[in-house]
A = this chain, B = another copy of it.
């Protein structure tokens, strides 16, 4: 092994990864983390617009986002597309493929990104030996269900304005969890993609951005969006609904 690849290896182990408190290694001790490390193929690059996996692909490996942003979308029998999530750093992709062994979703990078790949069969083997890893894995699976329920709640009960507000707050919160400035959001997805995710047309999304801007709740500057009045934005989401 060359010096450079050795250094690269050191630099890119779970133990030194800034996302270890969000990702699969959470709660593991040094020895356990090493075992997990041995499984992980790190730093696969996926350039903006490229696919990491497609619907119909067999599940080989789960993928954790290291850097960047993805969208996951599914296509119904009628050809309708629905974005089911925008995974960012530390979040796992492909969990829904375990049930059938085949991906239903399509994962596309929204910006140049890097992922860590975790071969699923080998991971399951390791889980039996490492109860803490097993539990964390279950928490992540369960957390994916919770995330989906939140989206169902948004889709089922909210008006367009509140949907967009909730969307921005969600991205903001996730930035905060990663130690980034929660009031400055760089949106890597288009209005159309936001609309698709929220069950709205792109024009409606655009109008709601304008509406929130007119209320001085947010500010926009190209793809950057600033949250100017977090409190009021939150109050908006908590107040408003259709049903």
Contacts and interface: CB of A to CB of B under 8 A. Distances in A.
Contacts of A131: 124-125, 128
A196 interface: yes
A69 B36 CA distance: 41
A146 B97 CA distance: 8
A225 interface: no
- The interface residues of chain A, by DSSP majority, are classed as helix
Given A96-B142, A135-B124, A152 B153 contact: no
A112 interface: no
Contacts of A2: none
B196 A237 contact: no
Interface in A225-243: 237-243
Nearest to A76: B153
Contacts of A135: 124
Given A128-B131, A149-B148, A139 B98 contact: yes
A156 B198 CA distance: 7
A144 interface: yes
Nearest to A97: B142
A186 interface: no
Contacts of A95: 141-142, 145
A5 interface: no
Interface in A132-166: 134-135, 138-146, 148-149, 151-153, 155-157
A32 to B, nearest CB: 14
A84 interface: yes
Interface residues of A, number: 54
Interface of A: 74, 76-78, 80-82, 84, 95-100, 104-105, 124-125, 127-129, 131, 134-135, 138-146, 148-149, 151-153, 155-157, 195-199, 201, 237-243
22 contacts: A76-B241, A78-B238, A80-B243, A82-B153, A82-B156, A84-B153, A95-B145, A99-B139, A99-B140, A99-B142, A99-B145, A100-B146, A104-B146, A124-B134, A124-B138, A128-B129, A141-B141, A148-B148, A156-B196, A157-B199, A196-B243, A201-B243
- Pick the 10 closest A-B CB pairs, nearest first: A98-B142, A148-B148, A99-B142, A99-B143, A155-B155, A156-B199, A96-B145, A141-B141, A78-B238, A80-B157
